[in-house]
Amino acid sequence: MHESLLSPQLVQAAYVVASVLFILALGGLSNVESAKRAVWYGIVGMVLAILATVLGPGIGGYPAIAGAMAVAAVIGAIVAMRVQMTSMPQLVAALHSFVGLAAVFIGLNAELEAQHVLAALAQGATPESFTGFAGKIAHKSAVELDIMKVEAFLGIYIGALTFTGSVVAFGKLAGKITGKPWKLPGGHFWNASLTVAALAMGGLYFADIGGIWPMVVNAVLAGIVGWHLVMGIGGADMPVVVSMLNSYSGWAAAAVGFTLGNDLLIITGALVGSSGAILSYIMCKAMNRSFISVILGGFGGDGTPAAEGPEGEMVPIDADSVAQLLQDADNIVIVPGYGMAVAQAQQSVASLVSRLRKQGKNVRFAIHPVAGRLPGHMNVLLAEARVPYDIVLEMDEINEDFPDTDVTMVIGANDIVNPAALEDPNSPIAGMPVLEVWKSSHVIVLKRGRGTGYAGIQNPLFFRENTRLFFGDARASIDELLKRID
């Protein structure tokens, strides 16, 4: 029997402290100024949770655990140092897939362990001869074992769905899979049928028919559902999907926590699951989308412009003319989008803003809730460039100020500034709240080319009389402006 380095009481106390730190971390992330401190709360809480678990009762195998952790830490450090800010959304999606896969493995392992313990008890072993998780199983009643089966079933199903869904989301965000929505004919029928089949596998599992295999088939069926669900969601909805997958990973972790009898996993999973669901709802509201419709198939466009595009032509503008407009302006608003992230132009933009503010100009940023590929993506980029927090405003805070704005610069954004959302009831994004930049006196749009945005929808803004297109890489374009503005 393994002698633990920490008593069960100390482990539970450590779990309580870690839970409090996780709650503080989650609360702190809601504010830019407290986010850095919140991250440290999360780091300390996770270190404490890992140490308490590894050094707790019934673990052992320290060399193997230490080796696995060392390898994982090296891989994580390499990935963290190499990843670009533009790749952060797909990294988050990939990490969600790991959580889902872990839930599947833990659920399957729990069932194998339960089968082993029950077989040993049937042959005369005593419950006291088992330690750790096996000991918990040995002391469970028949009803408690049935409840554990439900928990394992849910953990495996949600985990497998999260795994494949996150892999597809990663592929779409990374451009390795088309952003166009795709699903089999009668897609919802197939999703429902696969879910019913998974429930049937659960019935076999509860009836102790087939051993571990019904749960393996359950994982495969759930994986197909996850793949098909996210494949059927368009690229424009990916921020919501990533947020929802975050929620799924939390519920998978919570289900695993119930299976293992681990209070910390239950608390942490519930925190992640509920916060992810709330964030997804907020984002759906910001996009005027039905939460259910997005998750079950969503909008997203087919990646091609509408058959009847806006009338007119895009009028280009050169760096000298843009610089003159900025010099003459008093009130300036900058709307960052994914194009700014791709060009890694945030540092150059911050330098431009600093120079303009030194001239006494009122310069602010307007952030749309779904700008970029991840919730808060633009806020993170601007914080990285040390842009003052007080000039970074959300859509609801700044939309009414556009009529009094002299120049609005849209840097690599498309769908979030599309007037068709408010003016064209037939538009795929009709009803979606957008930044009403066209009400400014002048609108300068920085674009790499004449294509459509991530949703594949043409933008009438580009053809308006007060709009000029400043073509080129965003970073290079801003650098040209810096040469002309002292």
Predicted confidence (pLDDT) per residue in 366-377, tens digit? 998 878 767 778
What does the alpha-carbon distance between residue 323 and residue 402 come to, in Å, rounded to a whole number? 20
Q: What are phi and psi of 58, to 5 degrees?
A: 75, 20
- How confident is the model at residue 458, as a pLDDT? 79
**pTM over cut 0.85:** no
Whether pLDDT at 42 is above 50: yes
Apex CA 124: angle with CA 121 and CA 128, to 5°? 65
Alpha-helical regions (H) of 123-237: 132-138, 142-173, 187-206, 213-231
Catalytic residue among 415, 473, 479, 486: 415
Instruction: Give the CATH fold of the 319-484 domain.
Output: Rossmann fold (3.40.50)
Confidence class for position 306, pLDDT limits 50, 70, 90: very low
Q: What is the pLDDT of residues 187-210, one digit of tens each?
A: 778 888 999 999 999 999 988 888
Whether pLDDT at 454 is above 60: no
Whether pLDDT at 317 is above 90: yes
Whether pLDDT at 153 is above 50: yes
Count CA within 13 A, CB hemisphere, residue 202: 22
How do strand 362-367 and strand 331-336 relate by DSSP bridges? parallel
Confidence class for position 456, pLDDT limits 50, 70, 90: low
Percent of the chain clearing pLDDT 90 (strictly above): 42
318 is catalytic: no
Of 291-295, 297-301, 365-369, the range with the lowest mean pLDDT is 297-301
Whether pLDDT at 413 is above 50: yes
Q: Which residue bears the tokens 């040209």?
A: 480
Confidence class for position 451, pLDDT limits 50, 70, 90: low
For residue 393, the cross-strand partners are 366
Q: Which two tokens stand for residue 328?
A: 């003459």
Confidence class for position 353, pLDDT limits 50, 70, 90: very high
- How confident is the model at residue 335, as a pLDDT? 95
The span from the first CA to the last CA of the chain, in angstroms, equals: 74
